[in-house]
Amino acid sequence: MIAVMGLAVWGGMRLDDYLENRFPIFVVVFGLLAFASSLYVLIRSLPKNE
């Protein structure tokens, strides 16, 4: 989970630097998407109580 979020933030930083954005929009968007997808995978992997 930490690796996915770190990779997403790193990629967002690189993309923001490449596009010369003043506001780090890709860092924010990629970070939130990585967090949401990691949380989704975590919840799906939990055992179900019936």
Question: 32, 45, 6, 1: which is closest to 14 by C-alpha?
Answer: 6
In this predicted structure, what is the pLDDT of residue 9?
A: 95
Who has greater pLDDT, 1 or 35? 35
Alpha helices in 1-50 (DSSP H): 2-19, 25-45
Give pTM, 2 decimals. 0.82
Count CB neighbours of 23 within 10 A. 8
Matching residue, tokens 């930490």: 2
In this predicted structure, what is the pLDDT of residue 49?
A: 80
pLDDT digits (tens, 9 = 90+) for 2-39: 999 999 999 999 999 999 999 999 999 999 999 999 99
